[in-house]
Structure 1
């Protein structure tokens, strides 16, 4: 039995349309139909009633659908579980951090922990929050460093992922002298900072007439645009401290537009190796 047959089956079960499912699976309809038939022959039962359009699941197909979903989910978990076994005695930390924190916060924070935990190799992945969350869910990293609302809960918190606050920051609305007042330099949907701004001020900013003129998922890109007087951007104070001190950027808007945020360390909720557990304890302390 080929595991890809299960994905074929679920695609057809979702639509009941052989042509649409074949297109979704990037193959011709005859080839797709042969794979469905091969799965049925392997099981020894018909999974679809082909006498109606769209094709409907037979009672055996209804039973098999959750089995296929669980089988694929189980296979998807195997690499992470294998890594967990392998890393039980591993001395390499796998850490993901959002782009802004990778540059402005993580290096100094890691150095501050060196006196409280054993030193060892660290592999850092810098990416948008959405990707960092996926890496943690797939157990490709053990920890994630990200901003989170100080007065609320982020996506990982809502999922019950263990975390500890390791720092504080502010999201500040900043612009360069002479920048257009209503031009908004915004974060794309993948950005964790963008999530916080939209969650906290989204309706108010729309009512204030701010018009998006540029979007990006990197705070560093928005900072460059803000310095060129292209508009207003919400950026971490840790990233623009020097520019504010030198007057190259200024804080705009009412005081409540300044959003208090935490910097949080999230961890894989499963068991970690001794080195990673010691790192977690040092960070929590």
Structure 2
């Protein structure tokens, strides 16, 4: 089996044409066709219906496109790990919410680089629910996430350790030309454009529970954008496209420079804890847990 066959098939699925696919793979069409036949021989079943003037792709190939992509990706990652392997270096996979990737993680990485330079990180960012699922499946040995202050810890078993990295706050902010719409009492017009969180996102649920104005589409008269991607929300707010809620750690520089205005004196804020979970099944993550828990960030 040749990994190139899988790559050939992916290009063929994208192009839906042997000639164009061969050109993208930088080989002649006859050579490309031979490689596709080799793949068919390896599978033990034909994947193309070859006619006089056309070729049709078998539905089984179309239905398994995502699985083929996954095989190519995993094989590439394995190849890279083997090529770059060093017994002196250790790789730890962290799954984290997008917002923490831009706020807390840089400090965590800097501390680790100073105290444990042999550790490399592989990051898997996503929404909170997806991150928890990846951690539970064993795809990451560290989970970095936000928790509402005083909320119940996630119900992991005794093999998982919970520690607090630091504190944060979810605050309402506005930027760009919309800064000049803030009224004398520090409030905003009710119909101010809002960049809202989905109701079922982590921040969306917290904002709904808190009754926070402009947090979700339900609490904003004019929700012009709805997204859970905090880095994107920050850019939209900075561009003056709407008011929204963001972690203080993500926007403190913009607040200090005056590019954004903190509206929490009128609309309140939500205290957050930055929590990391580590599994005792992984010795390196246990050592990192000890290092990070002894640090005052």
For normalisation by structure 2, the TM-score amounts to 0.57
Report the alpha carbon displacement of residue 208 of structure 1 after superposing the two structures with TM.
6.6
- The separation in 2 between residues aligned to 1:92 and 1:204, in whole angstroms, is 41
Partner of 2:284: 275
Please state whether the residue corresponding to 2:118 is helix, strand or coil. Answer: coil
Moved more, 95-104 or 210-219: 210-219
Q: Please tell me whether the aligned partners of residues 191 and 218 of structure 1 are also in contact (alpha carbons under 8 angstroms).
A: no
Cα distance change on mapping 1:139 and 1:205 into 2, 3 Å: closer
Q: Please tell me whether the aligned partners of residues 204 and 215 of structure 2 are also in contact (alpha carbons under 8 angstroms).
A: no
Q: Please tell me whether the aligned partners of residues 189 and 217 of structure 1 are also in contact (alpha carbons under 8 angstroms).
A: no
Q: Does 1:181 align with 2:189?
A: yes
Report the alpha carbon displacement of residue 199 of structure 1 after superposing the two structures with TM.
2.7
Report the alpha carbon displacement of residue 105 of structure 1 after superposing the two structures with TM.
1.8
- The separation in 2 between residues aligned to 1:246 and 1:142, in whole angstroms, is 37
**1:45-100: CA deviation from partner (whole Å, max 9, x where unpaired):** xxxxxxxxxxxxxxxxxxxxxxxxxxxxxxxxxxxxxxxxxxxx993211111111
Q: Does 1:259 align with 2:270?
A: yes
Moved more, 120-129 or 209-218: 209-218
Cα distance change on mapping 1:267 and 1:239 into 2, 3 Å: same
Counterpart among 187, 192, 203 of residue 193 in structure 1: 203
Report the alpha carbon displacement of residue 200 of structure 1 after superposing the two structures with TM.
2.5
Moved more, 229-238 or 114-123: 114-123
Structure 2: runs of 5 or more not aligned: 1-86, 182-187
Q: Please tell me whether the aligned partners of residues 130 and 190 of structure 1 are also in contact (alpha carbons under 8 angstroms).
A: no
Equivalences, count: 193
For normalisation by structure 1, the TM-score amounts to 0.59
**1:196-244: CA deviation from partner (whole Å, max 9, x where unpaired):** 2223235897897544221112111111221222221001111111211
Cα distance change on mapping 1:157 and 1:273 into 2, 3 Å: closer
Cα distance change on mapping 1:178 and 1:167 into 2, 3 Å: same
- The separation in 1 between residues aligned to 2:151 and 2:266, in whole angstroms, is 19
- The separation in 2 between residues aligned to 1:185 and 1:261, in whole angstroms, is 20
Partner of 2:254: 243
- The separation in 2 between residues aligned to 1:243 and 1:172, in whole angstroms, is 13
Partner of 2:154: 157
Report the alpha carbon displacement of residue 107 of structure 1 after superposing the two structures with TM.
1.9
Q: Please tell me whether the aligned partners of residues 117 and 278 of structure 1 are also in contact (alpha carbons under 8 angstroms).
A: no
- The separation in 2 between residues aligned to 1:94 and 1:152, in whole angstroms, is 26
